[in-house]
Structure 1
Amino acid sequence: MKNFTLEKMQLCDIQGRLFELALKKGYDCPSFIEAFMNSRVAACLDDVYDRMQWAGEEYMLEELGDEVNGLKKAGTIFDNEVMYWTGYCYRYWHYYTNESSKRIYTIADAKTMNDCWQGFHTLDVEMAIENLKEIYAQKQAMNI
Structure 2
Amino acid sequence: MASLSLEKRQLCDIQGRLFQLALKNGYDCPSFIKAFMNSRTAAALDDTYDRLQWAGEEYILDELNDEVHGLKTAGTIYTNEVMYWTGYTYRYWHYYTGENSREIYRTADEKIMKECWLGFHTLDVEMAIDDLKEIHRQTYQNKGV
CA RMSD across the alignment: 0.7
| Cα deviation digits, residues 23-65 of structure 1 (max 9, x gap) | 0000000000000000111001100001111110000000000
Corresponding residue for residue 69 of structure 2: 69
C-alpha distance in 2, partners of 1:107/1:74?
26
C-alpha distance in 1, partners of 2:75/2:68?
17
Corresponding residue for residue 91 of structure 1: 91
C-alpha distance in 2, partners of 1:75/1:123?
29
What TM-score comes out, normalization by structure 1 length? 0.98
C-alpha distance in 2, partners of 1:118/1:22?
21
| Cα deviation digits, residues 61-99 of structure 1 (max 9, x gap) | 000000000000011100000000000000000000000
Corresponding residue for residue 8 of structure 1: 8
C-alpha distance in 1, partners of 2:104/2:2?
20
C-alpha distance in 2, partners of 1:66/1:91?
21
Matched residue count: 144
Corresponding residue for residue 143 of structure 1: 143
Report the Cα offset of residue 5 of structure 1: 1.0
Superposition pairs of residues 111-122 of structure 1, within 5 angstroms: 111-122=111-122
Superposition pairs of residues 125-140 of structure 1, within 5 angstroms: 125-140=125-140
Q: Structure 2, unaligned stretches of length 5 or more?
A: none
**After the TM superposition, which parts of structure 1 deviate over 2 Å for at least 4 consecutive aligned residues?**
none
C-alpha distance in 1, partners of 2:86/2:102?
14
Q: Structure 1, unaligned stretches of length 5 or more?
A: none
Corresponding residue for residue 108 of structure 1: 108
Report the Cα offset of residue 2 of structure 1: 2.0
What TM-score comes out, normalization by structure 2 length? 0.98
C-alpha distance in 2, partners of 1:5/1:116?
26
Equivalent residue of 2:33, what SS? helix
C-alpha distance in 2, partners of 1:7/1:18?
16
Report the Cα offset of residue 3 of structure 1: 6.0
